[in-house]
Structure 1
């Protein structure tokens, strides 16, 4: 997807939060020429080595392979997110943003020199196998990942549907690395999921920011309102394990809930890398209470949304510390259909916070936990369980049985079973209800 910004074509691509400037090879050459004599001396050194290898290496070598290897090494020396994409990988990267691609469903980065999982994508082989955010991938099949680039790792994990790949994982709490054998599949990422919880309360989950995320969010909000009588009393926006995605979609999502002011801005060395994105009043949602859920798998674009809503005091952020990816990558198409991913800027929340290597700190820290029904816990009985108990004689003539019409009594029955077992979601729902009760009391 391409967008015009200040007269230059800019594409916003992929889960690494890419602001993509399209630069021609000629423009790059002119920039190099302007750098001065020292750079020319370094380039001359490179060409000398290339010529020696071509002439004297024990076996004949492919020049393009040497050039690609040199580019990979150069970019790997910069940071974990700058990389070179050969034509086939560049083409596949552009397909990824449409939400359908082949592989395991893992978003990865390099952290402390180790290939690390940002988050598994929901309903993918990685998610189902139990891969978790923060897992360190030590080996892919028999190949150690030390000094392996992200692009090389991605290439090795992808493959035809139905084929297997074994990952050797080290995780906090493991005594030793553990092997996970996964079966590759076609990854169909559904960007937005939604459900009604209790009467008037909605739940929206964004798994990844793709080309149609904003459109899907609009549909989800409309459906939730229709299901709940036209208005929402509160909303839980779940960004846990959301590795990020398209910058423009993150801005649009935040814009639905922020009436005006800054959403995010970027700063870099070049003018094209310095941008500001602000909210528009039209299309803003009513000011109902909101809770945003995040965790260590929330990265990049999801951190932009959480940070914007937190800074504007539009939502309470709940969960655990987010991943902390606050850099912007520019994708530059090259002359042979390959692509260059280069870190060109950092992004900042409206208050000027950089979350790079820090992450978003929740307003309320809530660790993930498993909810066990008290009905199933041993040693807990109720009056109705006692032999020869008598029923109450209700003064209003009712038999006091649950009929599913009382909003308070039927709360649990209206919440999806999967959500009921999610401790963080239920804590968020409790907070929204408490919020409304406090407003009523204060009147």
Structure 2
């Protein structure tokens, strides 16, 4: 998967955060950067730039002249601070690096406050791809996930306000909001010719980053939602419990995990691989590499990592290390492709403003740079079509000879529920009508052959139930199959 991303994780699930691709949850954009901001594991690494300057007299004269012209000749009175901040943002924008950004005093303050407060929002990580706000991944069981937001969705408007031309930060400010409020999103989705509308009710986000259970055949299952400060510790608490319960093999699920602290990924990986294995390299612009090598003895059981296009950054470090150490198998989809490391710096004046700058890239043990490429799984497995469809319309009736993406969604959902109309091209024909009548009849609904709000709600309810049933998770079932045969 090759993506040009301006990532901001719109949600970030831990107030202490995480992030990996610049995570926010469309909730409090400030939280957006903790990980990305500092994937070295430092919560806040501020470095003064010093007194030295590389500006020549000509450079300084040009900048001063432009500023004076604006100050004296522009037809409206300027805001000096905004002009200077704009110049700084312009310098960073010229790097053509979506991860190097400037935060003015207010934005930095919002970030710091968000780190220590509860978080509410829609629960999705976003980036900027081809000048469109693009979803990297919805957080599992978040409002965005439950409403049907999917990785690679492009958000073009919020509550009727277009996001075109806005920076990622400004777009996020429009998407976020307090608990209980609605974000009516207009979405562009691959495979749909028309925009679709999804309403998400903002809510507080579950801050638990690790969940586990024992599956059939003593297969342990641990889901990691993000790599936050305590994630490695929580992971090994759960792993120890599974091992004491007789676990024979392990599935680690990092699907829709936007990443997190580099050091947390390293701490989590270390005990899984044999001593002396290279986990990851950090490489600066001079080509100098810092290697991270395991110190533990590894695990004796088979491991499968589950990935999808929403698995980014620290999740990719995990998957890459497991594959290249030949200590496990990766099942699912190609990952997001985020391979750089950022640090925060003071802007040089005591006004609270900061810069986040990409300072290095990380490489797999073989030296591969996966940025904007991602990691290919050993077994590529796609989910059923109904996993990625949009919600059905509630404000209009679909009937015979209706045409459009909503009809296509209906046909895919009906097929997923076992009522096949023999087509998924978006044309409501007599077979689609017959399939819909069959569904209505078997579910005690008024049999009209038309999709009204009552029928749409029932179809979606049943689709969500199927979506949540592990038996319909093709990727998970493949992982279980691989471990059962090992």
TM-score range (shorter-chain normalised) is 0.7 to 0.9
Question: Is the deviation greater in 87-96 or in 149-158?
Answer: 87-96
Deviation digits for residues 278-335 of structure 1 (CA, Å, limit 9, x no counterpart): 2112xx5522001101111111110011001111011101111111111112222333
Q: What is the CA–CA distance in structure 2 between the aligned matches of 1:338 and 1:100, rounded to whole Å?
A: 23
Instruction: State the SS of the aligned residue for 1:193.
Output: strand
1:117 to 135, 155, 162: 135
For residue 122 of structure 1, report the CA deviation from its aligned partner. Answer: 1.6
Q: Normalising by structure 2, report the TM-score.
A: 0.70
1:237 aligned to 2:252? yes
In the other structure, the counterpart of 1:221 is: 239
| Structure number having the greater strand percentage | 1
Distance 1:333 1:363, change over 3 A: same
Is the Cα contact below 8 Å between 1:14 and 1:96 reproduced in 2? Answer: no
Is the Cα contact below 8 Å between 2:281 and 2:363 reproduced in 1? Answer: yes
Is the Cα contact below 8 Å between 1:109 and 1:150 reproduced in 2? Answer: yes
Q: What is the CA–CA distance in structure 1 between the aligned matches of 2:316 and 2:117, rounded to whole Å?
A: 20
In the other structure, the counterpart of 1:321 is: 334
Q: What is the CA–CA distance in structure 2 between the aligned matches of 1:95 and 1:302, rounded to whole Å?
A: 27
In the other structure, the counterpart of 2:469 is: 418
For residue 92 of structure 1, report the CA deviation from its aligned partner. Answer: 4.3
In the other structure, the counterpart of 1:209 is: 227
Deviation digits for residues 147-166 of structure 1 (CA, Å, limit 9, x no counterpart): 43222222222222222333
1:73 aligned to 2:86? no
Q: What is the CA–CA distance in structure 1 between the aligned matches of 2:327 and 2:113, rounded to whole Å?
A: 34
1:266-285 matches, within 5 Å, as 266-269=282-285, 274-281=289-296, 284-285=297-298
1:306 aligned to 2:306? no
Q: Which runs of 5+ in 1 are unaligned?
A: 3-11, 379-416, 436-443
2:192 to 169, 174, 177: 174
How many equivalent residue pairs?
Answer: 374
Is the Cα contact below 8 Å between 2:37 and 2:344 reproduced in 1? Answer: no
1:42-121 matches, within 5 Å, as 42-78=59-95, 79-94=97-112, 100-121=118-139
In the other structure, the counterpart of 1:397 is: none
**Which has the greater radius of gyration?**
1
For residue 353 of structure 1, report the CA deviation from its aligned partner. Answer: 0.7
1:333 aligned to 2:346? yes
Q: Which runs of 5+ in 2 are unaligned?
A: 1-15, 18-32, 388-412, 420-467
1:262 to 278, 294, 301: 278
Compute the RMSD of aligned alpha carbons.
Answer: 2.9
Is the Cα contact below 8 Å between 2:271 and 2:299 reproduced in 1? Answer: no
